[in-house]
Every structure is written in C-alpha cells, then in structure tokens.
C-alpha cells in the first residue's frame, strides 16, 4: 500500500467529530477515512483530565494499528487535555481542532474584537482557547463559556427540538449585551446546533466552525507532506465503542451521513 493510500484516522467522544469527517469528505473525496466514536464513554467534557488522556491514548493505539497516515483528534476536550500525550505515542502527524479554530477566529477579526468561546466544562477549564488566542491574536478580548448540556442534546438527536433553543438562550442570551463580534464553536458537537446558536446571538455575530477549519488544516498538512490521495472516491469506515445502530441512525438524521455497517471496538 502506498503511503498516500493509507487512511486518515479521526476520533471523537461520540457523534461530534462527524462534523469534521463530513467536512473532510467534502474537501478530499479521494481520501480513505476511518472514524472512531467513543459512544460508550461520551461525554468527555465532564471527565477528569486523566480519564480523557487514558481514553484518547487507547483510541490512538487502535487507530495506529489500522496504519493511518494522519490522526485528527476531532474532539476539543481531548485536544485541550491529551494532545501532548497522544503525540508522544504516535509516529504519524497528530492534529487537534483548537489551533484551526483559533486561526479561523483570528482571520475573521483581523482588527481585533470580542470573542466568545463556547465549549465543554473541561475545555473551558483548561483555558486552551484563551492561551492560543492570546498567542495568535493578542488584540482579541476573549471570554469563555461552558455549555455542558449541548453535547447530550446533540447525542440525543434533539438539535431541532425546543429544548435546544431553550438551553442555548439560557447559556448565551446574557452575552448579547456584551457586543460579541465572533463566537467559536469550541466543541465539534456544536456545529449541529449552529443555527440555534446563531439565532440566539443575532446576525452580527460571526460563527466560527472549528470542524470546517480543522478539515482545511488537514488538507494543507497532507499536501505539505505529499500524502494526498488523489483518487476519486475514498472508502469510509466507522467504529464505535457502543450502540452502533443508534450512532448510524443519528449520523443519517443529523448530518446525512450513510455509515453502512458500523463496527464495535470495546476497550
């Protein structure tokens, strides 16, 4: 097998990383992709750092056994807490989703402004976004807000139900008075609530989708290393740690992704 034919590995705590998978599939139709969703242990955002590092390391080793050429940690919580440890055990390049999101926010506000970062409790407590934004764009005024109920709402498939709008207003309506210029969706589950969040924040707030930004960064990484697969139609493989039928159903209903058979790997 040529190096360019080897798959790109993507993992998340559950469904959220499928937003990265879909963006990558749209950008790079020739790539072979393998996606792992840790549905038995979702959400990561309420877990300890030690637990997230342990889970992420297990999944990384599993994907490395599949001879991947690039690993995308499509989970902001794992990106904020486990990226350094993952890189220690990975012989292939490892990308998170925080830096691409930060770069996209900096590009959207080249003259400074107010940025609201939304994420899981673990991601917000890590201050990973604040540190990265301070380094990349020190003129930005950054506030972070934990929105822990967003992940279970997505995992239940309730993105279009009234409860999603109710919770979004509870978390975010107070920030409308602060003249926010951009909001970072600092969790890959959150793009599935993008419309709800945008309605709460109003039309003047730019919504930064870290999933799309991560897919663009992955394309650039593969191209720079001469690893792009220029085939016409790459294969897609899906593996979860529990409830494959539910994962497949929600992937289809929420994102229009036809998974086919979903394999199960338990740790």
pLDDT digits (tens, 9 = 90+) for 31-66: 999 999 999 999 999 999 999 999 999 999 999 999
Confidence tier at 68 by pLDDT (50, 70, 90): very high
pLDDT 10s digits, 232-245: 899 999 999 999 99
- Say whether pLDDT at 127 is over 90: yes
pLDDT 10s digits, 175-186: 998 999 999 999
Same domain, 203 and 105: yes
Torsion, Cα 17 19 24 26, to 10 degrees, reads 160
Task: Give the chain's length.
Answer: 267
Could you tell me which of 194, 187, 228, 193 has the C-alpha nearest to residue 211? 187
Neighbour order of strands in the sheet with 140-146: 140-146, 113-119, 182-185, 206-209
Angle at alpha carbon of residue 95, lines to 26 and 125, rounded to 5°: 115
Same domain, 128 and 89: no
Domain count, the chain: 2
Which of residues 210, 227, 254 is at a domain's end?
210
Same domain, 116 and 200: yes
Active-site annotation holder among 24, 34, 75, 94 = 75
Could you tell me which of 98, 95, 86, 104 has the C-alpha nearest to residue 140? 104
pLDDT 10s digits, 197-240: 999 999 999 999 988 899 999 999 999 999 999 888 999 999 99
Same domain, 110 and 174: yes
Same domain, 130 and 195: yes
CATH code at position 237: 3.40.50.1860
Could you tell me which of 49, 56, 134 has the C-alpha nearest to residue 96? 56
Same domain, 162 and 258: no
Active-site annotation holder among 185, 187, 200, 208 = 187
Is 147 catalytic? The answer is: no
Give the pLDDT of residue 212.
86
Could you tell me which of 13, 23, 12, 8 has the C-alpha nearest to residue 256? 23
Same domain, 123 and 227: no
Share of the chain above pLDDT 70, in %: 100
Same domain, 182 and 222: no
Same domain, 204 and 114: yes
SS3 of residue 140 by DSSP: strand
Q: What are the CA-CA distances from residue 118 to residues 81, 127, 163, 245 (Å)? A: 16, 11, 18, 30
Same domain, 92 and 148: no
Domain of 159 in residue numbering reads as 98-210
Per DSSP bridges, beta strands 236-240 and 33-37 are: parallel
- Pairwise CA distance, residues 95 & 66, whole Å: 17
Is 75 catalytic? The answer is: yes
Evaluate the omega torsion of the peptide bond into residue 43 and state whether it is cis, within 30 degrees of 0. yes
Same domain, 219 and 256: yes
Give the pLDDT of residue 98.
95
Which of residues 193, 210, 227 is at a domain's end?
210
Same domain, 79 and 131: no
């Amino acid at each position: 097998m040529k190096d360019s034919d080897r798959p790109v590995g993507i993992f998340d705590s559950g469904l959220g990383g499928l937003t990265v998978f879909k963006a990558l599939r749209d950008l790079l139709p020739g790539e072979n992709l393998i996606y792992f969703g840790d549905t038995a242990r979702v959400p990561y955002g309420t877990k300890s750092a030690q637990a997230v590092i342990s889970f992420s390391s297990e999944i990384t080793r599993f994907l490395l056994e599949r001879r991947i050429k690039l690993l995308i940690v499509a989970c902001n919580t794992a990106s904020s807490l486990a990226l350094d440890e993952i890189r220690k055990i990975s012989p292939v390049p490892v990308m998170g989703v925080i830096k691409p999101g930060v770069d996209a926010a900096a590009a959207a506000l080249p003259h400074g402004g107010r940025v609201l970062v939304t994420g899981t409790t673990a991601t917000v407590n890590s201050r990973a976004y604040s540190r990265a934004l301070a380094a990349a764009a020190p003129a930005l005024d950054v506030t972070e807000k934990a929105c822990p109920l967003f992940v279970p709402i997505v995992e239940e498939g309730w993105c279009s139900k009234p409860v999603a709008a109710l919770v979004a207003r509870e978390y975010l309506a107070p920030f409308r008075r602060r003249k926010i210029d951009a909001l970072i969706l600092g969790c890959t589950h959150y793009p599935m609530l993008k419309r709800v969040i945008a309605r709460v924040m109003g039309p003047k707030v730019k919504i930064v989708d870290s999933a799309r930004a991560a897919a663009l960064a992955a394309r650039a990484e593969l191209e720079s290393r001469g690893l792009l697969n220029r085939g016409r139609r790459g294969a897609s493989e899906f593996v979860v740690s529990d409830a494959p039928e539910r994962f497949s159903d929600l992937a289809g209903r929420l994102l229009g992704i036809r998974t086919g058979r979903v394999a199960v790997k338990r740790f």
